[in-house]
A = this chain, B = another copy of it.
Amino acid sequence: MSEIQVKDLILNAIKNRKVNVLKELFETVPTIDIAEVMDDIEDVSLLLFPFRVISSEYTGELFAELSSEQQEKIINAFSDKDLIKLLEESYADDIVDTLQELPANIVSRVLRVAPTDLRKDINQLLNYAENTAGSIMTTEFLEMKNTVTVKEAISTIRAKGKDAETVYTIFVRDAKRTFVGTVNLDDLIFAKDDETLDDIMDRDFVSCHVNDDQEDVANMFKRYDLNAMAVLNKEDKIVGIITIDDVVDIIVEEANEDVAALSHVAPLEDSYLDTPAWRMAVKCIPWIIILIILGTFTTMALDRIEKTAIFTLIPVLISFVPTLMDTGGNTGGQTIALMIRGLGTKEFGPKDFLRIIGKEALTALIVAACVGAFGFIWFTVEQYTGIVTNEKLFVDGVAATIWNGKCWTGAFASQTLAISGIVASTLFVGSFLSKCVAVMLPLGVAALKKDPAIVAQPILTTIVDVVSLIAYLLIALGASHLFGIF
């Protein structure tokens, strides 16, 4: 059955209130697919229908997957009793995710009707700073003492496991309530009934603290191939756990943030399709305006340089300005992108500064030399073929090119090669400098604990543009004085 047919089936079952068909669908179709169909339903009574007739084991998850707009409608339509039942079927971290998107009056209603234990958990999670381990952890997990036997542990799981976010990892504490190890469910299955958790637990666990950055937590999951991780408070006692499914979302979110920052967009809070045009514009405009203001330095440098004697005399030099500036930006942009992702995924940090700078300096030299050499040939081709034309070298009023054979006359060769040399040398200087600045800026910004993705690139472009233009003028002047070509 195709995806569209399934969606039609779900919608029909809801619209025609076919209880049995709907029950069958909930058994066989992933809940998020059903939630997606329900996100498009306008009529509140239709929206509530599945919650009335479907087994409560599905409704908690269904509610969590709905858009915040639909969640708001449902909470408003629910009696307090319905709401309590729904909350009991949901995990505290899912409820918190929901509450963060909803208006204050709804939040206070939810907190008012929530059972005391759940309210405590929700309040605790709501109070951790955004993007910390505390804000993404769940407080429903299995914690057992290290003296518990395997048999006791399995019966505890049978009794309490349904309320925990994961039963695959059991967190073990000692008599002082300090976290000392983890036991995986498969270790229990393989162990003898009378062994204690202390006998079989992993002691080489990794854990994090409530205030750790979620990106660091995600990198630990990746590095150590974890399924769940304990979140500790200052006294090294477990206050919550983070599971791998939350981490997958964080990794995607952080990657999207890096791409957005490198492309000068403020990160979107909602999914792209759910963000209206005016809010997209708000995310886009500020950076464009900042970049125009930063670009003023470039405008000023170009305005001064184009009025110098040599540029007035050889206006063709101006034609190469976009190539010089684009190439400088592109070579530096490559390095910045590698730095940002390396720093973001903790592949390296500011401590590797010397090693990275040595390598990038060598890379920059090789790239700049190759690009400069290619540029010399290409700019010569551009002049010989008349892609750019030098008015000073017009013969009988027409541009000298290989097409009309006039390029072999007189001063053409020497002046053409001199121009290629000036532009190619500037390209070499600009590319080398750009890559060197591009490696130092992100590492420097990261060492100051700021986000390098946002700050580094606009500053790089401005520096490279202005320095390239000044180098261009100096190299042109130097060539003209030394060789007296123009």
Which of A's residues lie within 8 Å of B, judged by CB? Answer: 27-30, 32, 154, 157-158, 161-162, 167-168, 185-186, 189-190, 203-204, 206, 221-225, 227, 244-245, 247-249, 251-252, 255-256, 258-260, 262-265, 268, 271-273, 276-278, 280-281, 284-285, 287-289, 291-293, 295-296, 298-300, 302-303, 306-307, 315-316, 318-323, 325-327, 330-331, 333-334, 336-338, 340-342, 345, 347-348, 352, 355-356, 359-360, 362-363, 366-367, 370-371, 374-375, 378, 382, 387-389, 391, 431, 461, 465
Contact = CB atoms under 8 A, between A and B. Distances in A.
Contacts of A259: 255, 258-259, 262, 337, 340-341
Contacts of A465: 322
Given A251-B252, A288-B367, A295 B272 contact: no
B161 A222 contact: no
B374 A292 contact: yes
Nearest to A276: B359
A316 B299 CA distance: 10
Contact of A249 (B222, B281, B302, B382): B222
A23 to B, nearest CB: 12
A200 to B, nearest CB: 12
A316 B303 CA distance: 7
A483 B243 CA distance: 67
A167 B203 CA distance: 21
B319 A322 contact: no
Given A273-B355, A292-B375, A319-B299, A391 B307 contact: yes
15 contacts: A32-B224, A222-B252, A263-B336, A265-B334, A265-B337, A280-B363, A285-B367, A285-B370, A291-B327, A292-B327, A292-B374, A302-B318, A306-B319, A307-B391, A326-B461
Nearest to A24: B203
Contacts of A265: 334, 337-338
Given A284-B367, A288-B331, A189 B258 contact: no
A196 B299 CA distance: 76
A224 to B, nearest CB: 5
A337 B260 contact: yes
A221 B204 contact: no
B28 A203 contact: yes
B245 A225 contact: yes
Nearest to A203: B28
Contacts of A322: 295, 298-299, 302, 321-322, 325, 465
Contact of A291 (B27, B295, B326, B345): B326
B333 A30 contact: no
B367 A326 contact: no
Nearest to A29: B204
Given A255-B251, A288-B330, A30 B224 contact: yes
Given A186-B185, A288-B330, A293 B378 contact: yes
Contact of A248 (B251, B363, B366): B251
Looking at A244, A272, A289, A355, the one whose CB has the most chain B CB atoms below 10 A away is: A272
Contacts of A167: 186, 189
B387 A277 contact: no
Looking at A227, A278, A356, the one whose CB has the most chain B CB atoms below 10 A away is: A227
A227 B224 contact: no
B247 A248 contact: yes
Among all A-B residue pairs, the 4 with the closest Cβ atoms: A255-B255, A263-B337, A281-B366, A277-B362
Nearest to A188: B189
Given A225-B245, A292-B374, A292-B375, 11 more contacts: A29-B204, A251-B251, A256-B341, A260-B338, A280-B359, A281-B363, A281-B367, A288-B367, A298-B323, A299-B382, A303-B389
